[in-house]
Amino acid sequence: MPLVFRGGPLRGEVRVAGDKSISHRALMLAALAPGTSRVEQPNRGADVMATRDAIVALGAVVDDRDTTIDVRGGALHDPAGPLDARNSGTTARLMMGLCAGHGLNAVFDGDASLRRRPMERVARPLRAMGADVNTTGGRLPSSVRGIVEPLGGEFQLEVASAQVKSAILLANLQARGPVIVTGDRFSRDHTERMLRRFGRDISFDGRTIALLPGSISAQTVRVPADLSGAAFFITAAAITPDSDVLLREVGVNRTRTGFIDVLQAMGADIALLDERELDGEPVADIRVRYRPLRATNVDGETVVRAIDEVTIIAVAAAHAEGTTRIRDAADLRGKESDRLTTITATLRACGVEVAEHPDGLDITGGTAHVPGRTLHAFDDHRIAMAVAALAAPLGDHGIDDGACIDISFPGFAELWSGTQRA
């Protein structure tokens, strides 16, 4: 489905799609908790729907009413067939952990893109706790034969990954002893917060997580708006003259706000208003107005806290004075596309000077123009939405296929054009 994004400032108020990461975790814990939990304002992208369908295959009873999903959990069983994670790495990796520690036996598979993504980083700690986990050359399809009441103990992360530590925590919810996870570097802590919301005694400081034995109970969880989805609106407003946009109820968890820190370091006019807590997660309304940007350096812990937003940071860099240097982002080569390569190709097609490195990019701003051809989306929702932000200050940009946006943000194009008309 070809799609054209037009130029023009962003104005008015908008609430973007619900947070994808939080929606996944809320559904999984609801499936494990005895009783009926309610998830309000969930993300309705294809990735989260893969998790919804997976918990149904495991025996959870789901009543999906569009703006809410009610889940009756606590009595899971082996699925009748393979669990199809589709394009969702979060579904595959976290559900492998869930099955591994709850005596469930399952086969996991996904689409061609997901089959290219690594699974051993999750499989190894699950094997260490006693589960039987097999992968296909380190990738999907994979199989899990779970155990019940694992011993607990200490787990050292090979890489600071929210998906890996979450798989470990889900696998050890029935552990007989305390569970310690070390080696984190402020990766997103939604699982830890969600576990606390569902009644568990858990501590976390960005480096170490400690989970004590216990049980979980059904809860109601309202999902904040997704900062990763809001990032495209924030960036477009920051780089497009006459923009003034207010984004409502956006999650501003510190493990996710590296993107905001980067744009503010570039001089962006971003204000967090009415900061508050929503069911265990910090949220705020975010107002963004246009102001010229300058280059900055992005690396280390900041990249960990902005890994999903590096592509849109690259768009901001294309409109900033000077050369922005991004490093420590090699993990982006294993996403839906090799995002370092695909955002490089996208920016170069728009006249931007980009040097690609093994773990990052050097982007020199000030030369972007309307491309002379339709751009590839690379079947990657974040690349496709980045093109919308590229178009805002310059003029019409077309992509060859906008269907991939539905992975994380159904209705994005309509919401985007409505904001530009405000």
169 & 299 share domain: no
Task: Give the chain's domain count.
Answer: 2
Q: Would 217 be classed as within a structural domain?
A: no
134 & 261 share domain: no
388 & 244 share domain: yes
Pick the last residue of a domain from 192, 212, 232.
212
pTM for the model:
0.93
C-alpha triplet 106, 216, 27: angle, nearest 5°: 50
103 & 56 share domain: yes
- In angstroms, the CA 196 to CA 18 distance is 20
* Nearest partner of 188 among 418, 352, 9, 24, judged by Cα: 24
192 & 334 share domain: no
194 & 231 share domain: no
Q: Would 219 be classed as within a structural domain?
A: no
pLDDT in tens, the chain (422 residues): 899 999 999 999 999 999 999 999 999 999 999 999 999 999 999 999 999 999 999 999 999 998 999 999 999 999 999 999 999 999 999 999 999 999 999 999 999 999 999 999 999 999 999 999 999 999 999 999 999 999 999 999 998 899 999 999 999 999 999 999 999 999 999 999 999 999 999 999 999 999 999 999 999 999 999 999 999 999 999 999 999 999 999 999 999 999 999 999 999 999 999 999 999 999 999 999 999 999 999 999 999 899 999 999 999 999 999 999 999 999 999 888 999 999 999 999 999 999 999 999 999 999 999 999 999 999 999 999 999 999 999 999 999 999 999 999 999 999 999 998 65
* Residue 285 is a catalytic residue: no
Q: Would 352 be classed as within a structural domain?
A: yes
Indicate which residue of 285, 308, 331, 380 is catalytic. Answer: 308
> 391 lies in which domain range?
3-17+224-421
- In angstroms, the CA 356 to CA 135 distance is 31
Q: Would 411 be classed as within a structural domain?
A: yes
252 & 341 share domain: yes
CATH assignment of the domain containing 265? 3.65.10.10
**What region does 267 belong to: left with phi over 0, alpha with psi -120 to 50, or beta?**
left
